[in-house]
Amino acid sequence: MATLQEVSQCVLEGDLDNVKVLVQALIDEGTEPIVIINEGLIAGMNIVAPLFKSGEMFVPEVMESADTMNEGMKLVKPLIMDGDIPSKGKMIIGTVNGDLHDIGKNLLIMMVESRGYTVIDLGVDVKEEDFSAAIKKHNPDIVGMSSMLTTTMMKMESTIAQIKKDGLRDKIKIIIGGAPVTQEFANDIGADGYSMDASTAVELCDRMMSSPEELSA
């Protein structure tokens, strides 16, 4: 008999073959799909995140764990209605106009998705007006922007200006990140938050979703 604990362990170990077997066994035994997601698959990623942050796990291992979680998800998701999958919040994320570096962005997407957020990936080189259009279309809680170059950093400022101009600034939280970006810079351009790496960004999102008022103050 498979257990939820074993599913978590599979995710932690990045065991792509076994996760399918175990999740299928749980489904066959009649375990609620939502329970498999929350207490098995996501629970596994919840162990991974702090280990990554503390340097005990490394990028490829985290990616393998995320892949493993997604393999399990593929089996469970068709069994439930979209609206039933718990979402902590909706996020859109992209690298700003002119910036093509996507490794950090992709890592972040993996981390926040595995923590229960719905993420819309806008990709790289996202123009100011495209961020705005995506906010209108998807109505996210959080907008994430990244820039890896000093030349494209200023595009974060112009993107925020565009969002303001379109009257959308009050509806969302904006977080920024990337190698040259600092907290000081985030304050200067009027972003709501900054984080220096993907795992801290997840915590930042959690804080934003749990006490939005505090952060907007």
Q: Which residues bind other proteins (CB under 8 A)?
A: 58-60, 63, 98, 100-103, 106-107, 124-125, 149-151, 153-154, 179-180
Nearer Cβ to other proteins (8/152): 152
The phi-psi region of residue 102 (left if phi > 0; otherwise alpha if psi is between -120 and 50; otherwise beta) is: alpha
Pull the structure tokens for residue 45.
């990623």
**Whole-angstrom Cα distance, residue 176 to residue 200?**
12
User: Shortest distance, CB of residue 91 to other proteins, whole angstroms?
Assistant: 20
Closest CB to other proteins among residues 23, 93: 93
Measured at the CA of 102, the angle between CA 98 and CA 108, to 5 degrees, comes to: 125
Nearer to other proteins, 120 or 124 (CB): 124
Shortest distance, CB of residue 98 to other proteins, whole angstroms?
Answer: 8
The tokens describing 211, both together, are 């006490």
- Least gap, CB of 123 to other proteins (angstroms): 9
Q: Are 117 and 88 in contact (CB under 8 A)?
A: yes
By C-beta, is 124 or 209 nearer to other proteins?
Answer: 124
